[in-house]
């Protein structure tokens, strides 16, 4: 069976089954995950000026490898979205660096950063953001077409991505003809179509009931296992349990982390 077929997730998943993540609860087994895809070091982001200054992120170090899904948890305002935006090049740090596949994106100008982002990064949001007038396949193909990929190639990449998340049979349906869980699978397919290998998910299960949320996590997990790296913001421990490890933010700092490979300073609560 090919790697591609391995990765396929049936739409008939048993959503009630417990997460398979328990086996990795203590962090990735040595050799299981691949090279570092995303490397953030000394990442600091200050918003505003003077007395209104907010240190949204403060000297954060984080690496995410191919094959690894990292959950980001923390109270409201702790810097989770800021971290995701910096990871994907939507925002630039006040200091520190973000490297994607070895390329320091935080040094690039806005145009180059946008191009790199389109090629390498996929986002999944809570509210799916599918375009109602486009079919599932058209929604998935659109970002690739915008990036200059020929229509036929974009379409076949879209069908492959939809197949991978188990909804290729819905390729010609419009969003309003799909359930919330099906729409979110399409959104994940859109985030990962083509060569993009970093998936950034901000509360991707937030608008879904818990059973459908588990099914979406299963899809995300399978996709990461098949050769992507993922950063998942969630408030829910049961969804974080699908990740290889979890980092906890408070006031822009990493105050705790799970996983054997967490650097010593990330495990300290005293920072
Ligand atoms: N553009 C901005 N201008 C000023 N302050 C900002 C801006 N963006 C974020 N902040 C502040 O930075 C801090 C971190 O915000 P961020 O949205 O990253 O937190 P979060 O953990 O994602 O919160 P939530 O769980 O509520 O989404 C907060 O104090 C927030 O008010």
The CATH number of the domain covering residues in 3-7+20-267: 3.40.50.300
- The reply to whether ipTM tops 0.95 is yes
| Interval 77-124: pLDDT, tens | 999 999 999 999 989 999 999 999 889 998 899 888 888 888 889 888
Within 8 A by CB and 6+ apart from 233, the residues are 71, 72, 73, 80, 81, 83, 84, 201, 202, 203
Mean pLDDT taken over the chain: 83
pLDDT score recorded for residue 32? 57
Q: Which residue from 48, 51, 54 has its CB within 8 A of the most atoms of ligand 1, so it is best to mutate?
A: 54
CA–centroid distance, 87 to ligand 1, in Å, is 15
| Interval 137-192: pLDDT, tens | 999 999 889 888 999 999 999 999 999 888 999 999 999 999 988 998 999 899 88
- Least confident range of 32-36, 55-59, 200-204, 223-227: 32-36
Going by CA atoms, what residue is nearest to atom 17 of ligand 1? Answer: 81
pLDDT score recorded for residue 259? 64
| Strand-pair partners of 65 | 36
pLDDT at 213 over 50: yes
| Strand-pair partners of 23 | none
Q: Where are the alpha helices (DSSP H) in 121-236?
A: 136-146, 151-164, 180-192, 210-225
Q: What is the pTM of this model?
A: 0.82
CA–centroid distance, 46 to ligand 1, in Å, is 10
The pair phi, psi for residue 87, each rounded to 5°, is -60, -35
| Interval 34-49: pLDDT, tens | 899 999 999 999 998 8
Atom of ligand 1 nearest to the CA of 235: 25
Going by CA atoms, what residue is nearest to atom 28 of ligand 1? Answer: 77
Q: Which residue from 45, 52, 79 has its CB within 8 A of the most atoms of ligand 1, so it is best to mutate?
A: 79
């Amino acid at each position: 069976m090919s790697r591609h077929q391995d990765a396929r997730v049936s739409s008939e998943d048993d959503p009630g089954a417990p997460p398979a993540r328990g086996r990795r609860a203590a962090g990735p087994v040595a050799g299981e995950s691949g090279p570092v895809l995303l490397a953030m070091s000394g990442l600091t982001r200050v918003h505003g000026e003077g007395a209104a200054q907010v240190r949204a992120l403060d000297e954060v170090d984080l690496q995410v490898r191919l094959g690894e899904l990292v959950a980001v948890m923390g109270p409201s305002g702790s810097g989770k979205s800021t971290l995701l935006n910096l990871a994907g090049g939507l925002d630039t740090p006040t200091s520190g660096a973000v490297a994607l596949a070895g390329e320091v994106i935080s040094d690039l100008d806005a145009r180059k950063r946008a191009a790199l982002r389109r090629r390498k990064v996929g986002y999944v949001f809570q509210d799916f953001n599918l375009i109602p007038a486009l079919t599932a396949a058209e929604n998935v193909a659109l970002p690739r077409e915008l990036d200059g990929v020929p229509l036929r190639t974009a379409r076949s990449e879209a069908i492959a991505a939809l197949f991978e998340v188990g909804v290729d049979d819905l390729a010609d349906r419009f969003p309003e003809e799909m359930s919330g869980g099906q729409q979110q699978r399409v959104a994940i397919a859109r985030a990962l179509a083509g060569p993009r290998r970093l998936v950034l998910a901000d509360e991707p299960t937030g608008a879904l009931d818990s059973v459908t949320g588990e099914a979406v996590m299963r899809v995300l997990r399978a996709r990461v296992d098949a050769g992507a790296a993922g950063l998942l913001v969630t408030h829910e421990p049961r969804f974080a349990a699908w990740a290889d490890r979890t980092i906890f933010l408070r006031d822009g700092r990493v105050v705790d982390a799970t996983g054997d490979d967490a650097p010593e300073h990330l495990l300290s609560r005293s920072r």
